[in-house]
Amino acid sequence: MNSLREINMFTQIKTCSKNKEAVTFLTRKFALGAENVIARIAIAYSLQSGIHFSPLDVKDSGGKEYSKNVLFGNLYPMYAAIVCKHYSIHQSDKDLPRYFKMHLDDGLERIMADVKDNPNLVGFDYLFDKIQLGLEDIC
């Protein structure tokens, strides 16, 4: 069995440099409070899209930095389980942090594209629409 140290092998994740401003912009636009909220939504949105990345697809890390605890809070085990299932990997897989980062960047880019396509989006309406679509996919 893997030790807890091996499973919790990272302490921080950084967005790519172009998403640093996206985090702040989207947090303000949707009035989400803390910037980790948009990051959590971005990861979930990217995963929900079904996209799979190669560990080699990772972008630069010059953007917004999140500690593991700030980004996931007590929800880390749930996010890890979802990513592990998505990629059919174990929690101790060395690429797990890369997958988190890639889905964070991808989700932020998807949300920014949605906002660009519809600049009048209201935060809660947008989020409820995405939640409804996700629920329809699994029902």
As given in the structure block, the two tokens for residue 133 are: 């679509």
What is the per-residue pLDDT for 75? Answer: 94
Cα–Cα distances in angstroms (integers) from residue 122 to residues 54, 55, 107, 125, 127, in the given order: 33, 34, 18, 5, 9
Q: Which domains does the chain have, with CATH numbers?
A: 4-138 (1.10.1220.160)
Cα(42)–Cα(46) distance, integer angstroms: 6
Whether pTM > 0.85 for this model: the answer is yes
What is the pLDDT, as a whole number, of residue 3? 34
User: Is residue 74's pLDDT more than 80?
Assistant: yes
As a residue count, the chain comes to 139
* For range 74-80, the mean pLDDT: 94
Look at residue 126 in the predicted model and tell me its pLDDT: 79
Identify whether the C-beta of residue 100 lies closer than 8 Å to the C-beta of residue 75: no
